[in-house]
Amino acid sequence: MRILGLETSCDETGVAIYDDEKGLMAHQLYSQVKLHADYGGVVPELASRDHIRKTIPLIEACLKQAKCTKDDIDGIAFTSGPGLIGALLVGSTTARGLAYAWQKPVIGVHHMEGHLLAPMLEEKVPEFPFIALLVSGGHSLLVEVKGIGQYQILGESIDDAIGEAFDKTAKIMGLDYPGGPRLAKLAEQGTAGRYKFPRPMTDRPGFDFSFSGLKTFAANTLRDSDQSEQTKADIAYAFQEAAVATLIIKAKRALKHTGLKRLVIAGGVSANQHLREEVGKLMESLRGEIFYPRLEFCTDNGAMIAYAGLQRLKAGQINTNLDVKPRWPITELDAV
């Protein structure tokens, strides 16, 4: 089975073709970073208009890259949520229009399930069950995964997602958009130990996260500092260290609580090098296994949507989840 996947949930237009025997055949991605940079964040209306301009050309490029025609495609998958409603509608209407014209089955895919399954695109893939740490600009989730569609949320952020906290803290520090990666880069120049930031909600039981207070702590530290570039680097270092340490503490709790030895990290923040290093140390100490997608599949992309859609289409879930859902709990998905 060969699936065309479309991702248009936010500020990246992703298109891919995935074959269940040949693997990933084509992958095209267009980032809107430059478009939104002047505004310091994503402007939903501009994002939607840019998806309209880019989606069809990227589909054509993917077909050419895979040396396919519409007749070689067996189904179409698109991101139906969660995300920006205007952006989601672009992917939905494009996918449904093509499915009608080409007479192909179509399915809407949960954006975070796409991220959760992104490590399946690699040569070494995790076996079920495992714990998934899903960290992005919109989500911070700890999920016990027993199979595709069999998800139990153990913990989530009660306020800002970790990627959102990175971006907001970067903006406070005067860094350009996108802030998260720039803050991580600045942290590389920071001095260890100069500042000690709190590890939010780690002094109480449970798996939930809170990063809003950490952002405020960084803002107050910056306000009371000398505002030098080295000081900003030191604050960035302390912020990143505390945020990552919080994730590690909660992930360790989840692994011990469930008795599982496999951990998946995915989502845009999973590209953070410090996080990868610390998770690696954690799993080595627990004698467990860590899985994550390659860097190009950490951010939003069509490959993960094509793969997730293929699994559900193969299971007979055809023409489902066609309505876009800006908010959509991952626990509402049907099992495969």
Q: Is 324 annotated as a binding residue?
A: no
Q: Is 134 annotated as a binding residue?
A: yes
**Helix, coil or strand: residue 109:** strand
Determine whether the annotation assigns residue 138 to a binding site: yes
H or E segment to which residue 130 belongs: strand 130-135
DSSP assignment of 260-297, as one string?
--EEEEESGGGG-HHHHHHHHHHHHHTT-EEE---GGG
**What is the rounded distance in angstroms from the CA atom of residue 281 to the CA atom of residue 19?**
35
Which pair of structure tokens corresponds to residue 100? 């009608």
Alpha helices in the chain (DSSP H): 33-37, 44-66, 85-102, 111-117, 162-172, 179-187, 212-223, 229-258, 273-285, 302-314
Annotated binding-site residue? 272 = yes
Q: Residue 135 annotated as binding?
A: yes
Reduced 3-state DSSP string for 245-260:
HHHHHHHHHHHHHHCC
Say if residues 302 and 5 touch (Cβ distance below 8 Å): yes
336 is in an annotated binding site: no
Q: Can you say whether residue 12 is alpha, beta or left, with left for phi > 0 and alpha for psi between -120 and 50 degrees?
A: beta
Q: Is 115 annotated as a binding residue?
A: yes
In 3D, which of 15, 148, 142, 138 has the Cα closest to residue 79? Answer: 15
For 105, the token pair is 């089955």
Annotated binding-site residue? 267: no
CB atoms under 10 Å from CB of 287, counted, come to 7
33 annotated to bind ligand = no
- Report the candidate in 127, 78, 139 with the shortest Cα–Cα distance to residue 266: 139
Residues making up the binding site for Fe cation: 111, 115, 300
Residues making up the binding site for substrate: 134-138, 167, 180, 272
Residues making up the binding site: 111, 115, 134-138, 167, 180, 272, 300
